[in-house]
Chain A
Amino acid sequence: MINYLKSEGYRVLRMKSVYMIPLFVLALLLFMLGLTWLTALGDPNFRYNNTQFIYGFSQGSLVFLIFIIPFLVNTIFADEYKNGTFKNNLSYGVSRITLYFGKLIMVMLVSMVMSVMILLAFIPTVELLMENSGASYRHEFIRAVISYIPLLLASLTLSHMLSFVTKKTGNHFGIYFLIVFVLPQILFFLQQLSIVIPEGVHRLFPYYIMANVIMERPLSFWGIFFVYFSITSIIGVKLFSRRDI
């Protein structure tokens, strides 16, 4: 496992796309901040150039990270099926379980590093450019980021499993969006139509929690991660172990 992780680290560090994703996200955030700052310069009545608004808005926008996850997973997965590179790993004795969990660890590590780097650039820029509304908003934002980590990891395990069990990127993305985004919407509409949905079932969907900025019982989010991790690992390893490459 260690050697596989080392080799994956070597490969990932040499992939341009790994740098492009955080740069794109960061550029988008900095553009938003710059625009807000410039607008405030020209309009003294502009009410949004303060840390209260920016952190609040960013907190509500964290849900969009769920949609970036499959792109990130796909980048790290590196078209292993299309390139046929899994066959080399297997020929040289890397077990299928090592491949599955090795890639999962790598994608988790890369996404963590990316997130930390983005936050390290984003928070000081907000503090520098925006009017300070008090430290509590920054603390609230950081708390939300930390609370939502298990939900993002849960979505990541789902995307990771799909990248192993579906050979085509389109299928991976399609099924992911269906489970993560469409399914909670259907449940919501069924509830609107007074069809009984078991209590709390919404809270199993990271998208539902993050889109509604639910912050109570953040420790329970680790429970959600554990459920996702267990189910996706069992399905993923089982199907991948039976698959001919």
Chain B
Amino acid sequence: MKKTILETTQLSKKYGDFTALSSINLSMEKGCIYGLIGKNGAGKSTLLKLLTGQAIPTSGEISLFGSSGEKLEQARNRVGAIVEYPAFYPELSGRQNLEYYRIQKGIVEKNSVNRVLEQLNLLAIANKKFKTYSLGNKQRLGMALALLGNPDLLILDEPTNGFDPMGIIEIRQLLLELNQKQQMTILISSHMLSELENIITRVGFIDKGCLIEELQMEDLQEKCQTYIELNVDHAEKAVAILEETLALTEYEVLPNQVIHVYGNKELIPRISKVLNENEIAIYSINEKEVTLEDYFIQLVGGNKND
């Protein structure tokens, strides 16, 4: 059984009458990459702020590496994080900012600053003042800080903000490498749902301050399987024929004579042949796939942008 790294119990946060987070029960095992998905204002950043000690919970408990209560602060020394935006002293250079935190975290290895600067391709601008950095480079420095001292848990809030497409691929590779080689556990929130789909092992959907569903990626992939969408003149009759002749049992009849048959595109010629033989008119037939985005939209409704 894998060790639980992070656990929240009935974690809630209120701002006056507004409930930003309501009774969040979340758990993360060692080595997992947990994707937190939610719309703007859903409560993602509030949750990450509570986990990193930047905000005080109204109620509930957080356990990090088995430590909670007063021992939580000490446990946070094993965490690397960027929440909302990368924050640094503008008058210090990138290197000096990292050196400041290296000393503060008590990291003895002086080369650790150089190593993270190299990892994030920042060596060339390391001696420039932070205030002169572009948005992408600020984000890179934030990532470098999060990785300083090889944390056991990485908490990243929208980490690819300000990155170009190549930068996004680079960060994705880096996260996967850290996870696979160093068994680093990662909690990541992003509005780039397609981005998360490729790297996460577990996903949590958050909406209006509530964690509405948590799934392992394998379970989600099952839910996100491909299907064939059919639009016919008699849906009820069509499914009866398909069931009888092709022994299809996994289907769904939707309004407006639409049928979803779960399976891949190789079924399309057989379906059209059978329905034609039985004089069922086919208006359209396509293979479709439920992506993480589609699933998320189904779950929370509304616009798909974060």
Contacts and interface: CB of A to CB of B under 8 A. Distances in A.
Name which of B54, B84, B101 has the most chain A CB atoms within 10 A of its CB: B54
B55 A7 contact: no
A92 B101 contact: yes
A14 B94 CA distance: 13
Contacts of B52: 87, 90-91
Contact of A244 (B49, B88, B90, B91): B49
Contacts of A241: 56
Chain A contact patch, size range: 20 to 34
B87 interface: yes
A88 B49 contact: no
A93 interface: yes
B296 to A, nearest CB: 27
A6 interface: yes
A93 B151 CA distance: 12
B266 to A, nearest CB: 51
10 contacts: A3-B106, A10-B96, A11-B100, A88-B88, A89-B104, A91-B79, A92-B79, A92-B81, A92-B105, A93-B75
Contacts of A89: 104
Contacts of B11: none
Contacts of B53: 90-91, 93
Contacts of B54: 86-87, 90-91, 244-245
Contacts of B100: 7, 10-11
Given A83-B88, A88-B145, 4 more contacts: A7-B103, A11-B100, A90-B76, A91-B54
Contacts of A94: 73, 104
Given A91-B76, A244-B49, A11 B92 contact: yes
B103 to A, nearest CB: 4
B85 interface: yes
Given A7-B104, A85-B87, A91 B74 contact: no
Contacts of A85: 87-89
Contacts of B88: 83, 85, 88
A78 to B, nearest CB: 6
Contacts, number: 86
A15 interface: yes
B261 interface: no
Contacts of B92: 11, 14
A180 to B, nearest CB: 28
A101 interface: no
Given A78-B89, A92-B105, A244-B49, A87 B83 contact: yes
A11 B73 contact: no
Interface string A69-94: 00000000010000111111111111
B78 to A, nearest CB: 8
Contacts of A244: 49, 54-56
Contacts of A245: 49, 54-55
Contacts of B103: 3, 6-7, 10
B76 A84 contact: no
Nearest to A94: B104
B286 interface: no
Given A83-B88, A90-B53, A91-B53, A3 B83 contact: no
Contact of A16 (B79, B91, B96, B145): B91
A92 B77 contact: yes
B99 interface: yes
Contacts of B84: 84, 87
A203 B105 CA distance: 43
A92 B87 contact: no
10 nearest A-B residue pairs (beta carbon): A84-B87, A93-B76, A7-B104, A91-B52, A93-B77, A244-B55, A7-B103, A91-B81, A90-B53, A245-B54
B145 to A, nearest CB: 7
A133 interface: no
A217 interface: no
Given A90-B54, A242-B56, A83 B104 contact: no
A95 interface: yes
B255 to A, nearest CB: 46
Name which of B76, B100, B105, B155 has the most chain A CB atoms within 10 A of its CB: B100
A94 B105 CA distance: 9
A116 to B, nearest CB: 25
A90 B56 CA distance: 11
A243 B92 CA distance: 26
Contacts of A92: 76-77, 79, 81, 101, 104-105
A95 B87 CA distance: 18
A6 B103 CA distance: 7
